[in-house]
Amino acid sequence: MALPPDKASEMKQIIRQQLAKMDVHGRIREVLAETIRDEIAPEHQQLSTDDLMKALRRRGIIDDVMKELKVVTDMNNQEVTLDPKPSTHFVDRQPPVLKKTNIDPTRRYLYLQVLGGKAFLEHLQEPEPLPGQTCSTFTLYLLFRNQRFRSKPVPCACEPDFHDGFLLEVHKDSLGDGSKMMDATTMLSICDPVHMVLIKTDMFGETSLVASYFLEWRSVLVAENRITNIAVELLGVGTESKVSVGVLNIRLEMYPQLNKILSQEIINTQFALERQKTAEKERLFLVYAKQWWREYLQIRSSHNTRLVKIFAQDENGINHPVCSYIRPLRAGRLLDTPRQAARFVSVLGYERAPVIGGGSGKQEQWCTLLAFLCRSKGDCEDHANLLCSLLLGYGLEAFVCVGTKAKAVPHTWVMTCGTDGIITFWESLTGHRYIHSPIHPDDPPLVEQPKPTYPYRTIGCIFNNQAFLANCQPSDAVEVCAFDLRDESKWKPMSEEAIKSVCSPGATTSLPPFPPLCASTIDAAVASNEIELQLRILVSEYRKDLGLTTVWDDQLSYLLSPALAAYELERTTSISAGNEEFQDAIRRAVPDGHTFKGFPIHFVYRNARRAFATCLRSPFCEEIICCRGDQVRLAVRVRVFAYPESACAVWIMFACKYRSVL
């Protein structure tokens, strides 16, 4: 395994120190003198290297050195010295646990190695981090046929030091063939790529999407020595989707070794057939979509201004039918209810796609699900697509709605249709639910009309993984819309067969399979304690600058916990519970003649300093933190609620009690 020059010199230094510590040179001199004296005739005082090595082995000196250096052999029979010294310039917040993998000898595996990167020119002038300093890092995420992997974070550099290996199982989906060892011909029919997503995390913990790449791995099926090396050029995302951001060196190997390899001609023919089939399906769908759009415009000329979105661009600038962004997604044991799923989606960060330059125009970018989950933030379309997929997984009839909110701002949200005809809107950015009660403009003036509580103004179309319907009612205002989706005079549908041809899971034109959700790696109790301790320090320092002393009341801080739990429960279920007990406990804790003030606030990140700065912008919170009076006691309580994909809801409450002095 090739090492960069700086690592090689460091390793040599460690080996020299270890050899000196064991006095290996002195022992070699003794063996050399003894060998010359005892084993070689006086008239032949010449000693070859082989003779010396045999003597050293016979006396066990080489074995002692190898044991002391802890040399191990990896999968490629390459000797790798384990360096006991930790990295000094960045912190892996989730250190990997090295453990043996149970390999089924009856299955076929693809071993993918990332052997460094180069030409990441944006980081050409990246300063060398000081020891102990946290710097920006790259992390590589992989998805292959329902299997997810994550590399160790490496410092951002022009040549990032990626050295990771991932063992990908290549298996058939059908139960009948699932247990058979796959041959090269069978694997050639598996057209699923390896989806690779590169994420940059800055020193403040903010993530950004650098690249999203689909690796064609089947070239390894023609490699004579079962190994193939590929230089993968990564392109940027969004407005930079045509610009190279760097190159990754990839090595692919097959385990067990193939008995028979395929010819390059067969591989090329298969790829050409797949491209031809995909292009034909896309062409036929485009022809149908154009005809459908012409028919829709003939219904009413004003339809041309409605938000009817048939195609959307992904992070690589490639157009896909919007229905392909939706697929029923089951959360396993990670989320128990649809409302809990809505809460999970809402705590993923919201960020509009970045635009280079000024202007108020919105950059369109519908991310693939893996890119959205790895970055842990996205636009409203990403949130709505994920929530709709989760609700479909729970067996609900769910659709993504495309329309506008106040001031004609384009927006997407989710709608479910109950078997009793009740229409419910789900706001994916907040988790709020709204019941839709339509207004009937033709009713007499004395008839009381419902007042909409939702923020949505117009609706142009709705869609899920199997259906696409455009609103063809006289008005596209949400408050007067009727959601009788089977009435084609109100909602013009697309052909289900046409949608299925390009959006079904097996279609070559559709997006890659959805990744399974991962359990949180956050220890909620530890994270809560860390943030609370940091906030106490920040508050004490802030008050010290104002010339105020700080006395903390641990008991009062503990009494704030039930309130924070109740707030999260209410956000998840819309049910308020436990408020009576909290109020009773506070009344008992605050003596007569004293005043109590509390300020709860909610975040979706764990940066204590950033949260504290936000809290100070509220006059209510600042009043508590800067409290003056007699017998002032301060309290703060933090409660972190962990969700899948290491998303979290962070509740913080600042409180104080003091004697009222008139």
Where do the domains of the chain lie? 5-72, 109-173+180-262, 276-354+362-503, 524-659
CA torsion angle 207 149 216 379 (round to 10): -30
| pLDDT at res. 238 | 85
User: Is the pLDDT confidence value at 69 over 80?
Assistant: no
| pLDDT at res. 81 | 40
Topology adopted by domain 276-354+362-503: C8orf32 fold (3.10.620)
| pLDDT at res. 186 | 87
User: Is the pLDDT confidence value at 20 over 80?
Assistant: no
Indicate the pLDDT class of residue 108, thresholds 50, 70 and 90.
Answer: confident
Alpha carbon of residue 447 to chain centroid: 50
Q: Which of 51, 56, 58, 63 is nearest to 28 (CA)?
A: 56
* Cβ within 8 Å of residue 181, ≥6 positions away: 106, 107, 108, 256
Question: Do residues 461 and 469 touch, judged by C-beta distance below 8 A?
Answer: yes
Secondary structure element (H or E) that encloses residue 602, with its range: strand 594-603
Coil, strand or helix: which one is 149?
A: strand
User: Is the pLDDT confidence value at 308 over 90?
Assistant: yes
Question: Do residues 542 and 627 touch, judged by C-beta distance below 8 A?
Answer: no
User: Is the pLDDT confidence value at 307 over 50?
Assistant: yes
Rounded to an integer, the average pLDDT of 505-519 is 78
Coil, strand or helix: which one is 26?
A: helix
CA torsion through residues 576, 350, 363, 215, sign: negative
Secondary structure element (H or E) that encloses residue 125, with its range: none
Q: How many CA atoms lie within 13 A of 352 on its CB side?
A: 12
User: Is the pLDDT confidence value at 100 over 50?
Assistant: yes
Environment class of 80 (CB within 10 Å of its CB; exposed 0-12, middle 13-18, buried 19+):
middle
User: Is the pLDDT confidence value at 296 over 50?
Assistant: yes
How many C-beta atoms lie closer than 10 Å to residue 625's C-beta?
23
Assign domain 524-659 to a CATH class. alpha beta
Indicate the pLDDT class of residue 576, thresholds 50, 70 and 90.
Answer: confident
| pLDDT at res. 89 | 40
313, two tokens: 């661009």
User: Is the pLDDT confidence value at 175 over 70?
Assistant: no
| pLDDT at res. 90 | 43
Look up the pTM and report it.
Answer: 0.81
User: Is the pLDDT confidence value at 397 over 80?
Assistant: yes
Give the amino acid at 477: A
CA distance linking residue 247 with residue 230, whole number of Å: 10
Q: Residue 573 — φ and ψ, nearest 5°?
A: -110, -10
How many C-beta atoms lie closer than 10 Å to residue 335's C-beta?
21
Query: If you average pLDDT over every residue of the chain, what do you get?
Result: 85
| pLDDT at res. 24 | 66
Rounded to an integer, the average pLDDT of 480-504 is 91
Cis peptide leading into 129, omega within 30 of 0? Answer: no
Indicate the pLDDT class of residue 469, thresholds 50, 70 and 90.
Answer: very high
| pLDDT at res. 21 | 64
The widest CA-to-CA distance across the chain, in whole angstroms, is 127
| Architecture (CATH level 2) of domain 109-173+180-262 | Sandwich (2.60)
Percent of the chain predicted with pLDDT > 90: 60
How do residues 248-263 score in pLDDT, each as one tens digit? Answer: 999 999 888 888 888 9
